[in-house]
Chains A and B, each alone.
Chain A
Amino acid sequence: MFRNVKELVELAEKENIPISEIMIRQEMKISERSREDLMEQMDHNLQVMEKAVEDGLQGVRSHSGLTGGDAVLIQNYMKNHEPLSGYLLLDAVSKAVATNEVNAAMGTICATPTAGSAGCVPGTLFAVKNRLNPTREQMIRYLFTSGAFGYVIANNASISGAAGGCQAEVGSAAGMASAAIVEMAGGTPQQSADAMAITLKNMLGLVCDPVAGLVEVPCVKRNAMGASNAIVAADMALAGVTSRIPCDEVIDAMYKIGQTMPVSLRETALGGLAATPTGKELEAKIYGIPRMGD
């Protein structure tokens, strides 16, 4: 059993196996289920993610009309221009956006770790897939590696925007994704931990301020930035850059920042972007007459 990132990395190094394998073995022990059974369930989750990305890239619209269609715009731009940030990065961005647009449109998604942050892990996975050509098993392992890091955050800090701000949601998701990218690209368990730490450090303080209380603005675009943050941090870790602050201490810092954040910035739609004149205007327009009691 691992309780933190340090133990997770030590276990993987001691046994000379990837993080994904540690997570699979722990899950087998806890759930008393077979490896095949677990791989099958994760494969099902992977299929749900694939379908959500496909649907989003076809173009969807949310009921409120606030989000939808941006994934298509980005893909079209990539076809007709040489993107400044690079093809893979923007591909990940478009696929993260696609997933969250489907989520906002009340489509079916797989929460990773939450629904509001569901874009980072699949967005990066399907973009990196085109470069690294992983096997199906490696793609499933990507999710177990992400899960291992998310498991540490969820148990030692929080993955809830209402409890800890958006840093706990999109921040965690981006960190999970960057650790998984490193493993798929052939990096070490310690490099995964460094990538996760670098990503999360750069998401610290991120508030949860959904306009009209909807998981749309700014959530969709934050997943885009989370995905790009994950890829850049993974590249940095693979280059040998380490995090001066150990990953577990970053997670702890994130938790403490979340606890000291005002309630207005923790998914209450009372502050931040939700409280801007335009945010308020959109809220009034969307709800018109309060729906209470109908």
Chain B
Amino acid sequence: MKYRSVFDIIGPVMIGPSSSHTAGAARIGRVARDLFNREPKWAHIHLYGSFAKTYRGHGTDVAIIGGLLDFDTFDPRISESLEIANRLGMNIKFFEEDAVTDHPNTARVTIGDDQGTLEIVGISIGGGKIEITELNGFPLRLSGNHPAIIVMHNDRYGAIASITQILAKHEINIGHMEVSRKEIGKEALMVIEVDQNIGEEILQELHKADHILQVARIAE
């Protein structure tokens, strides 16, 4: 089931004009911000399909930047997000892409600062609902229905166990888990959907576990 909650259908409360192109776009931006865990200094936004053809009319550009500024779908500041980002000195570039993607509403968001960069691909499947299909080149399926932890780690034995042990110790139940890697022994990614929101303390503990490079969470 792509849509789990009745509030995916009756909702979200949002600033118009389009749930896919505005609310969904804002949510894609906000997931990127959540994962980056700080305000980016620059952002390159690549838009595909219907996003590329109609983003001006729908305010998709404004909405994604609003998400990067950590605004919710109903935050009235979304309509001024380009000006706000400009004032904050955020360097933004939009690219209209012609490539055909699996989903007609696709955005690739690359953000960064002096300390690092992050790239996600998000699709807006309708009614404000989104899925994240790629993170830093790793394919993934993140429904956004549950709180989730995303862990970049070195592909070594024990790395996964070290994370699941910490979660077990804190009595956190795993609902869904995916592990992917590009090459054996190199950087790998764990996506773990859990039933409870993860506190800052646990996050720090996860961060110190063996072979862990980066940990981020997405709150429900």
In the bound complex, CA of A144 to CA of B5 (Å)? 11
Are A163 and B6 within 8 A (Cβ)? no
Residues 168-184 of B at the A interface (beta carbon under 8 Å): none
Which of chain B's residues have a CB closer than 8 A to the CB of A176?
9
| Closest-CB distance, A27 to chain B (whole angstroms) | 5
Q: In this assembly, does B58 line the interface, its C-beta being within 8 Å of a C-beta of chain A?
A: yes
Residues 20-77 of A at the B interface (beta carbon under 8 Å): 23, 26-27, 30-31, 38, 41-42, 44-45, 48
Q: Which of B1, B58, B94, B103 contacts A214 (CB 8 A)?
A: B58
The size of the chain A interface, using a CB distance under 8 A, is: 63
Q: Which of A104, A115, A144 contacts B14 (CB 8 A)?
A: A115
Which of chain A's residues have a CB closer than 8 A to the CB of B126?
113-114, 154, 158-160, 162-163, 168
Are B57 and A108 within 8 A (Cβ)? no
Q: In this assembly, does B18 line the interface, its C-beta being within 8 Å of a C-beta of chain A?
A: yes
Are A110 and B2 within 8 A (Cβ)? no
Which of chain B's residues have a CB closer than 8 A to the CB of A114?
18-20, 126-128
Interface size class of B (residues with CB under 8 A): 35 or more
| Closest-CB distance, B10 to chain A (whole angstroms) | 4
Residues 102-154 of B at the A interface (beta carbon under 8 Å): 103-105, 124-128
In the bound complex, CA of A146 to CA of B127 (Å)? 14
In the bound complex, CA of A159 to CA of B55 (Å)? 19
In the bound complex, CA of A105 to CA of B1 (Å)? 33
Residues 1-27 of B at the A interface (beta carbon under 8 Å): 1-20, 22-23
Q: In this assembly, does B49 line the interface, its C-beta being within 8 Å of a C-beta of chain A?
A: yes
| Closest-CB distance, B30 to chain A (whole angstroms) | 16
In the bound complex, CA of A154 to CA of B59 (Å)? 24
| Closest-CB distance, A198 to chain B (whole angstroms) | 20
Q: Which of A108, A112, A270 contacts B9 (CB 8 A)?
A: A112
Q: In this assembly, does B156 line the interface, its C-beta being within 8 Å of a C-beta of chain A?
A: no
Are B104 and A151 within 8 A (Cβ)? no
Q: In this assembly, does A179 line the interface, its C-beta being within 8 Å of a C-beta of chain B?
A: no
The residue in chain B whose Cβ has the minimal distance to the Cβ of A283 is: B57
Known: A159-B126, A267-B54. Contact between A143 and B96, CB under 8 A? no
Which of chain B's residues have a CB closer than 8 A to the CB of A162?
20, 49-50, 104-105, 126
Known: A155-B1, A160-B126, A293-B93. Contact between A147 and B6, CB under 8 A? yes
In the bound complex, CA of A69 to CA of B137 (Å)? 48
Q: In this assembly, does A116 line the interface, its C-beta being within 8 Å of a C-beta of chain B?
A: yes
In the bound complex, CA of A112 to CA of B23 (Å)? 13
Q: In this assembly, does B79 line the interface, its C-beta being within 8 Å of a C-beta of chain A?
A: yes
Q: In this assembly, does B56 line the interface, its C-beta being within 8 Å of a C-beta of chain A?
A: yes
Q: Which of B14, B18, B94 contacts A292 (CB 8 A)?
A: B94
Known: A210-B54, A213-B56, A267-B54. Contact between A160 and B125, CB under 8 A? yes
Known: A159-B126, A270-B53. Contact between A216 and B6, CB under 8 A? no
10 A-B pairs in the complex with CB atoms less than 8 angstroms apart: A27-B7, A41-B7, A108-B74, A113-B10, A147-B7, A160-B126, A214-B17, A216-B17, A268-B49, A268-B104
What are the 4 A-B residue pairs with the smallest beta carbon separation, nearest first? A213-B54, A160-B126, A213-B57, A103-B16
Residues of A within 8 A of B (CB): 3, 23, 26-27, 30-31, 38, 41-42, 44-45, 48, 102-116, 118, 121, 143-144, 146-148, 150-151, 154-155, 158-163, 168, 176, 210, 212-216, 263, 266-270, 286-287, 291-293
* Beyond A154-B2, A269-B53, 12 additional pairs, beta carbon < 8 A: A108-B74, A108-B76, A111-B11, A147-B9, A154-B8, A155-B3, A159-B9, A159-B127, A168-B126, A210-B54, A213-B57, A269-B57
